Structures are given as C-alpha cells and as structure tokens.
Structure 1
Amino acid sequence: MIGVTDIDLATDLAGTTPAVDNSAVDILAVAREQVLDEGRALDERQILEVLELPDDRLEELLALAHEVRERWCGPEVEVEGIVSVKTGGCPEDCHFCSQSGQFTSPVRAAWLDIPSLVRAAVETAATGATEFCIVAAVRGPDKRLMAQMREGVKAIREAVDINVAASLGMLSQEQVDELAEMGVHRYNHNLETARSYFTEVVTTHSWQERWDTLRMVRDAGMEVCCGGIVGMGETRAQRAEFAAQLAELEPDEVPLNFLNPRPGTPFGDREPLPAKEALRTIAAFRLALPRTILRYAGGREITLGDLGTEQGLLGGINAVIVGNYLTTLGRPATADLELLDRLSMPVKALSATL
C-alpha cells in the first residue's frame, strides 16, 4: 500500500510534547470559539492557517474537528454506494480521470442495463446504505441517458427503499427540472479544485459551467453534493480557496477525494498525498464546513490506509462511500461498517436523510 504505514502514522500522531507554537495555538483557539462554540465557519485566510499547522499540532487539530462534527452534525454517519451507468468514453479532458476518451487509460465505454442497476441498488441498501448514486461519464446527459435515468429511477424506487442520487455532468435547466420531477434526491457535480487551479486540471469546459449547474440544482430543490480531489498539484493556499468556495456554495454534502494516480492520464505519475497532509485537509474542511456532510470518497485507501481512515472518522468525516468506486477498488463495505461499529458511530437511518 502506498503512503504512510499504520505504525508510522500512529508514531507521528502520538509524537512527543512539542515546544509551543503560538501561531498554531492561536488559530486553534480561534477555531474553538468561532466554529465549535458559535458555529461560524473559518474564512479562507483562517483555513490556510489551519492547513499550515505543523505536524506536531495535528492530533489536537483532528480532535477539535471531531468535536465540531459531533456538535453541529451529530454522531451519525451516512453510508452511500455508487454505480456507473455509463463508463468511459467521456469527451472531457479531466487530467485525473481514466474515463476520458482523450487518454490512453484502459477504461473503455460501456453501459449498464436497468436490471443490473436495480440489482446494484438492492445490494447497496443491504449494506445499510441510505443513498445510491447513479453516475455517468459524460459532459452532460443526452436524451438516451435521461430516458435511462427515468426508467432506472422508477425501477429502483419500486424495488427498494433507498434515496437515489445522480451525477451526470453539466445540466440544462430542462434537465435539472426533469431530474427533480423523477424524484432524484441529491445531485453530485464536483467543482474538483479551486477556481484558480481549474485550468491546470480541465481545459474542455470551465469552472463557471460547473458552478452554474450547481446553482440550478439548488434552486430546483434537490440537495447539492459538490466536492473535489485533493493532491492534484494545488498549493495549500489553493486548497483553502477551494474550501472557501465550497462554503460559499453551501452544499449539503462534500465528497472529499484524494488523487489516486491512474495510468495513462496526465496525472498518472503523481505521488499520492502524504497521509498527514490528507488528515490536515480533512480537519480544515470540517472547520470550513461545520454543518455539511463531509464524505470519504476515492483515494483514501492508498492515501490513508486503515489507521488513517479511522483517524479521519475521528477528525471530521461523517459519511462514507462503501464498496468500490467508479474505476478503482475501495474497501469492502463490511470493513467500513465494522469500523463504524467499533467506533460507536451509528449509521444514519433512511428516515433521517429524507
């Protein structure tokens, strides 16, 4: 497994009593009063101060982020499964994505039929998940995909009691309205990274186009799910910018991915983010988004490992995607559910997500 080993991470987090760093003490004291006590998010400058905390303050930072999560979100963890209804062959050039048709990665275009989609939803619900997200690798949905969504959502709702979410790229107002009418509970469309870094990641569409889709989704009454990927070469300042931009959007959920370099993509040779940097980022995003569902998504397995995954759950995370991702393997659902049980973190009931 790439990244810090469990033993290394435990040693790093335990550490020895460090000399007092006044700047670190100050920002954590400010965050305790502003975020924990008053529920007011950190601003961009303050988020950057958190991201620049030294490693010997990490344990304290994670503990504070966990307190914030408990105070403003409660102890429950939302569990979600995802499935790709259309894989590969995407015309966009997102540099991290093996589903782009512009790169030499081994993922090839394929469609999932309705019975397979329903079966995946039923299997997801059997794990205790309350959310099932249908994902398609497209710039935006065409008539065929919208027809398949209508048929698929109807079939899922008839077969199993689970919330249906969707992630189909950029939308028109007509498509937003149609998805809302179908009963899609939540729409995912990631901004991916800070606006100032976006052109280093994608060149075939703009950050603003993504933002516009999200505003339409919000206005239509669907829940907004919007996050991104950390560790694509952005600076800490750009991570702080990204967190602040997400806070401005006020999403219901933020999936936090860590770059899992995919062969054949422009980012295929980049090193995964160090575990401590990933944990620091999780805590900073919690302090920037105190009331938001902050979800573990792709890349946590190679970035954090098992112990790091646990540390993140004790450092601000309050939702997980269980099972595999779109083109990469995740942890077995049973492993995550057993971990939640051991940490005495109850899985959020379906009724609590409606």
Structure 2
Amino acid sequence: MLDRAREQVLDRGVALDQAQILEVLQTSDDDLEALLALAHDVRMKYNGPDVEVEGIVSLKTGGCPEDCHFCSQSGQFTSPVRSVWLNIPELVRAAEQTRQTGASEFCIVAAVRGPDERLMTQMREGVAAIRAAVEINVAASLGMLTQEQVNDLVDMGVHRYNHNLEAGKSYFPNVVTTHSWEERWDTCTMVKDSGMELCCGGLVGMGETLEQRAELAFQLGELEPHEVPLNFLNPRPGTPFGDLPPMESSDALRTIAAFRLALPRTILRYAGGRELTLGDLGTRDGLLGGINAVIVGNYLTTLGRDPREDLSLLDDLKMPIKALNETL
C-alpha cells in the first residue's frame, strides 16, 4: 500500500480515493514510521517547509442552540460554559497578542447556529478595528450563513471562513441532530464561490468507524478547501461524548498521514485535542508526518500549549513560520 501511495501521491500528485484512505488507516503500527515519512515527503513536495500559524478568539462563547455532541458550548447540555461576549477593544487586544507570536491569521469565532444582525454588526466593527490596528489576516467562524451574510463578510475584508463538516456524511446524524450535513456543505460551497478562502475540517475520535473516518477525508478532498483543521476529541464533561476515551496516539498519527495523502496540496492544521491525544512527542511526529499549520495558544473552551513551546519546536525542526505577505 505504501509503495502504491508513494507512486500515486508523491510522484504523480494524485490524491488517494476513499478505499485507499481506508487502507492507510488500517496499516499496522510497524508501518507507522514509514507512513509518516511518506506523508512528510508529500507535504514538503507540494507545500514546502513553511508552517502557517494562527490564533483564535471567541467573540461569543456558550449558549449555542445546536446540539453538537462534542461541544461544551451547546446550551442543551450541562457543560459549565456560560454565555459571554467580547467587546471590540478585547478583540483588538487579542489580535495584537496573536500577531506578536508571528501568526499571520486571526480567527474570530462565535458559538451560534448562524449570525444574527447583532453579531454581524459586531463583526463589522471588530474587523474594521483590527484591520486599522494590526497587520494580520482576519478569518471568521460564525456558523451557517446566508448568501447575503457571505457577501457582507467579503465586503468587510474577511480573508478566510471556517465551517467544519465535523464528520463524514454517514456518521453526522450521530454527532448533530439540530441541523444537517447538507446545510454545512451548502455554507462551504457559498464561501468558496465568494472568493474567500475556505477552512473546513473535522473532528476524529468521536466513535466513528475507520470507514467513516476515511469517508470524511475523502469528502473533504471533494470539497477542496484551502485549509483543513484536524481536531481530536477532547471529551468535555456534560456533553454526550464526555465519556468517550481519548484517541490512541498511534491512531491519531495514522489519521494525520491519511489526511495528508488524501489532501496533498491542502494546508493541514493541528487544531483542538492534540495536547491530550499526542502530547509533546506526538506533536513533533505529526509535524514530521504531514501537518503544515498550527493553532497557537488556547482553543475556545480548552487550553492549548504555550505558544512559545510550539514556536520553539518549529525552530528546532527548521520549519519557518509562513510570512504574512505569503498568505495574502
């Protein structure tokens, strides 16, 4: 399988299909080192050594009406996350702190089904204030959008929009019941058609089968987002998935490599859960196994690594941070 993947993906630049992705996910631990080396070769050939660094901040935290079973921000669960809004000066301060790490991307996130007029107004004011104060790309993640809202975000100067598929289509009803996989797909296609970059990934380790994990990777390949954030379940107390065991590190690394072989030219970003699932050594292995972007600092409701640790690791690995002018 690895020989065939090398010839197909590395030599010819052709992504793996769904059945081949499954084969990669089924490889043994004995083949893991060779698999990661192949994924790293693919990353280096088609993306180079640079690593894109991003920081995120929650504009509106908690109280979301949706029932995403992994998320402690849902108002339907007993998770101890209260609804909080940031003001504009706080947004600007967070963007300035993110830029100081060397990051080129700053993503504003809101725990909502989709933005209402209050949120869109705060985005207009916030994006304008950030762009006036900080030289950084502004991204957003505000749930499902209408075409008018997509157009408004473009007019604001939002660089990239994040909206994850979360799971493969066949497993999605086990993860969310208050909206459909198709609704997420529709928002993603509107974003792509608008000219904004699309950031669309998923969450693994939620009880899905390997077949369904391969399905997610393949469907992301069909969507062709600019960036794929790869999250690993960090079980949150009070959520329906709160008692699931964390993913084994070897399975997480195999998943990283499989996603790289399914998405050879895409930015593949470390997102939530890597600290619990991989730890320090596994984080290094993933960067040498296909990952070429990281979120630094904390996530929305969970703590991340100290940004200095990630930046020091990138320096040790001789992986330069992608410059702002290379992301425009």
TM-score range, shorter chain: over 0.9
- Aligned: 1:61 with 2:61: no
Q: TM-score, normalised by structure 2?
A: 1.00
Q: Which residue identity does 2:294 align to in structure 1?
A: V
What corresponds to 1:16 in structure 2? none
Shift of 1:264: 0.3
Q: 2-side partners of 1:130 and 1:155: how far apart?
A: 17
How far the C-alpha of 1:252 sits from its partner, in A, is 0.3
* Equivalent residues in 2 for 1:190-205, closer than 5 Å: 190-205=164-179
Shift of 1:350: 0.2
Query: Which residue pairs with 1:263 in the alignment?
Result: 237
| Unaligned 5+ runs, structure 2 | none
Report how far residue 299 of structure 1 moved. 0.2
Query: What residue is the counterpart of 1:136 in the other structure?
Result: 110
> Counterpart of 1:328?
302
2:199 corresponds to which of 217, 220, 225: 225
Deviation at 1:199, TM superposition (A): 0.3
Alignment partner of 2:245: what SS? coil
Q: C-alpha offsets along residues 266-300 of structure 1, whole Å, 9 cap, x if unaligned?
A: 00001000000000000000000000000000000
Q: Deviations over 1:24-65 (max 9, x none)?
A: xxx111111110011110000000000000110000000000
Question: 1: distance between equivalents of 2:9 and 2:238?
Answer: 42
Return the letter of the residue paired with 1:199: P
Aligned to 1:234: 208
Runs of 4+ aligned structure 1 residues displaced above 2 Å come to none
Quote the sequence identity (%): 77
Q: 2:227 aligns with which of 242, 253, 264?
A: 253
- Whether 1:115 and 2:89 are equivalent positions in the alignment is yes
Cα offset, 1:257, TM superposition: 0.3
Any residues of structure 2 matched to 1:267-286 within 5 Å, and which? Answer: 267-286=241-260
In 1: Cα distance, 2:327 partner to 2:97 partner: 19
1:212-236 deviation digits (Å, cap 9, x = unpaired)? 0000000000000000100000000
Alignment of 1:38-53 (within 5 A): 38-53=12-27
Distance in 2, Cα, partners of 1:127 & 1:75: 18
Task: Tell me, in whole angstroms, the C-alpha distance in 2 between the residues paired with 1:43 and 1:334.
Answer: 38
What is the CA-CA distance between 1:128 and the residue it aligns to? Answer: 0.2
The one-letter code matched in structure 1 to 2:32 is L
Q: Which has the larger radius of gyration?
A: 1
Shift of 1:310: 0.2
Q: What TM-score does the superposition give when structure 1 sets the normalisation length?
A: 0.92
SS at match of 1:195: coil
For 1:171, the equivalent position in structure 2 comes to 145
1:181 to 149, 155, 158: 155
Aligned pair count reads 328
SS of 1:337's equivalent in the other structure is: helix
Q: Residue by residue, what CA displacement relative to the aligned partner does 1:121-158 show, whole Å, maximum 9, x if unpaired?
A: 00000000000000000000000000000000000000
Residue type at the aligned position of 1:130: S
Deviation at 1:241, TM superposition (A): 0.5
Aligned equivalent of 2:122? 148
